[in-house]
Chains A and B, each alone.
Chain A
Amino acid sequence: MERLSSPLGRHGLLVAFFYLLLAVSVGLVAVVLFLPDHSFPGFSDISNYTQLITSGSMAVVCLYAYFRWSRDALLIHGAFAAVSWTLANTFWYAYTLIIKTNLMYPTVAEAGFIGVFLFLIAGYEEVFARNRLPVWVTGAIMLPPLAVPLWLVLGMGLNLATVLTLLFFILAMGLVAVSVLYSVHLYGVLFLGTLAVALTHMLYAVRSTLPDPPWLLGVVGPLAAVSFALLALGMLGRSKEALL
């Protein structure tokens, strides 16, 4: 009990909590990938609550760690990113549950999802030192995935949905590029979370654009929870350095 009252004890407890959320989220991803129906009764609700609990908890924990443990600027950026995403997701569910219609893509919720990338890019540029990797490497990272939204533009024409999907891809690959240029990969879990959040939103954009998305894109929801659990663990890992 005494150990839990210490900052390190509380830190350990929070890490364990996010590992638990990560395990649940990975389990939900596995359901989509491996169950014959890619779902079970109540799957959608469990997935939605897991996403909201994970991103909401990340926001609270990052703010707590920033004010109580370490004035690491990444924590405040992470908190803003998680708040932005939680609000956007809440808006999405509120719309679907209250108005009981599928939300037209794009909506205001997209602004909140975009906010995640902006906060994380600003945070990485703020906290990590720029390495000597040439900038053209970012082109090599960004260009190949951009083929997907361009293919959508060619097939479905230039409209709000396809343009926003293109923007999601640019931001997602931009985040990956920045994390490579600023050596985020040195923090393995944080980098994994960054890759996961980028992949999640690219898949989300494709799912929202396609009139009849394939079952595999049902992985988006659980993958979002995986992303935020990993990001929270990565950021908590950095804040632990201040406690030692």
Chain B
Amino acid sequence: MILEFYLAASLPLFFLLIFLEGEQRRILAFLAWGLSAGAIAYYINYYLTLLYASTAIVPEVTIAPVVEEFLKALPLFVLLIVFARRYTRELLVLAMASGFGFAILENYVYISHYEIAGIGSIVYVVLRGITTSVMHGCMTAIIGYGIFLTYGFARRSLPAILFGLYTVAITIHALFNLLIGHTGVGKLLAINLPLVLFAVLLVVYNWEILFPKPPDLDM
């Protein structure tokens, strides 16, 4: 059913893309990519989990973050390496759109697997909406904002920076997956982690509005 849901959710978006222009089109394109990344990641994770089933590897901590963060951020890497276009802080929003698109599909996967009914399903979906979904958006947004911050740096250092940002996203994702699977303080931290990250990203996105530079009085 994953492929069917992916097609049902993404096909209308592709039609909408035709009518949109500029920033709106880019944001929707990244959201649609996120959905695609979710579908691809589902199959890759599934096969890798089977492959490493006999080992001590914990898939949700070791395999999923590596696969998912790579797929979500892929258009950012391609944009930079192939086109090397200058982007503004909009890159953070584009990256976040990809992450949220991914989360939409992943939420569907979990909801359809667990088949929770009644009020429990609403609580579950809301909890996922403010934790895992925000986490996916923020992880990719970190890569996007990191790229924006380092724009203008030497092209030769770009691969190292991109891989470095990718490792940051993987590590936070793995930490989140590790903590969310446990009870007590760990789970509480995991629930708060995406919201704290979201608040931090909101502040850095609006940094120049929140902390304007004092006017230069020298004539």
Contact = CB atoms under 8 A, between A and B. Distances in A.
B165 A112 contact: no
Contact of A125 (B154, B164, B172, B207): B154
B168 interface: yes
Given A104-B56, A108-B61, A125 B156 contact: yes
A166 B174 CA distance: 24
Q: Which of A77, A91, A108 has the most CB of B within 10 A?
A: A108
Which range contains the number of B residues in contact with the other chain? 20 to 34
B171 A111 contact: yes
Contacts of A84: 164, 167-168, 171
Interface in A100-132: 104, 107-109, 111-112, 114-115, 118-119, 121-123, 125-126
A83 B197 CA distance: 13
A119 B162 CA distance: 9
A76 interface: yes
A111 B170 contact: yes
Interface string A194-217: 000000000000000000000000
Contacts of A43: none
B219 interface: no
Given A91-B174, A122-B161, A83 B149 contact: no
A90 interface: yes
Contact of A94 (B66, B167, B175): B175
B160 interface: yes
Contact of A87 (B57, B175, B179, B186): B175
B65 interface: yes
A118 B168 contact: no
Given A94-B178, A95-B178, A104-B56, A76 B150 contact: yes
B157 A80 contact: no
Contact of B154 (A87, A104, A119, A126): A126
B175 A90 contact: yes
A225 interface: no
Contacts of A107: 61-62, 174
A138 to B, nearest CB: 15
B129 interface: no
B168 A112 contact: yes
A67 interface: yes
Contacts of A80: 146, 161, 164-165, 168
A174 to B, nearest CB: 10
Contact of B168 (A73, A83, A123): A83
Interface in A142-180: none
A122 B168 contact: no
Contacts of A224: none
A123 B61 CA distance: 30
A118 B209 CA distance: 32
B52 to A, nearest CB: 11
Q: Which of B167, B175, B186 has the most CB of A within 10 A?
A: B167
Interface of B: 56-57, 61-62, 65-66, 146, 149-150, 153-154, 156-158, 160-161, 163-168, 170-172, 174-175, 178-179, 182, 186, 207, 211
23 contacts: A76-B149, A80-B161, A80-B164, A83-B168, A84-B164, A84-B167, A84-B171, A91-B171, A91-B174, A94-B178, A107-B61, A111-B66, A111-B166, A111-B170, A112-B167, A112-B168, A112-B170, A115-B164, A118-B164, A122-B164, A125-B156, A125-B157, A126-B157
- Top 5 closest A-B pairs, CB basis? A122-B157, A115-B167, A122-B160, A112-B171, A108-B174
